[in-house]
Structure 1
Amino acid sequence: MRTFIRRRAKQFGGTCFEVEANGQRIALDVGLPLDATADTASLQPAVAGSRKPDDNLLAA
């Protein structure tokens, strides 16, 4: 099992964590920073499958 911090762990709001086991992944706590503006597309975390389908991402 591997765990990845995809976006800031030392801030309130906007964090993102990813857990991988046996080639399957889930993304946890996928949120936007509290100071996010209307341009949220540029703030999406770098999780494969969050923008385009990826069969290995089971949940986000």
Structure 2
Amino acid sequence: MQFHHHGYVSGDPRVKPAAGVGIDRPEELPDEVDVLIVGSGPAGMLAAAQLAQFPNVTTRLVERR
């Protein structure tokens, strides 16, 4: 899909470049997690909600957008 925001730009302007890696990585992110869920679709959201019931399990959900 093509968008016309600030002139003609191909691609999706809502998708931002990756952040939080290397030097610009926020301090509050842990170095290790017990469960990493990739994608916030129905299965990812349900898995994150179920794992939130266990406070001793460190879980992170990442999404492309």
- Range into which the TM-score falls when normalised by the shorter chain: under 0.3
Higher-Rg structure is 2
Higher helix proportion:
2
Q: What is the TM-score normalised by the length of structure 2?
A: 0.21
Q: What is the TM-score normalised by the length of structure 1?
A: 0.22
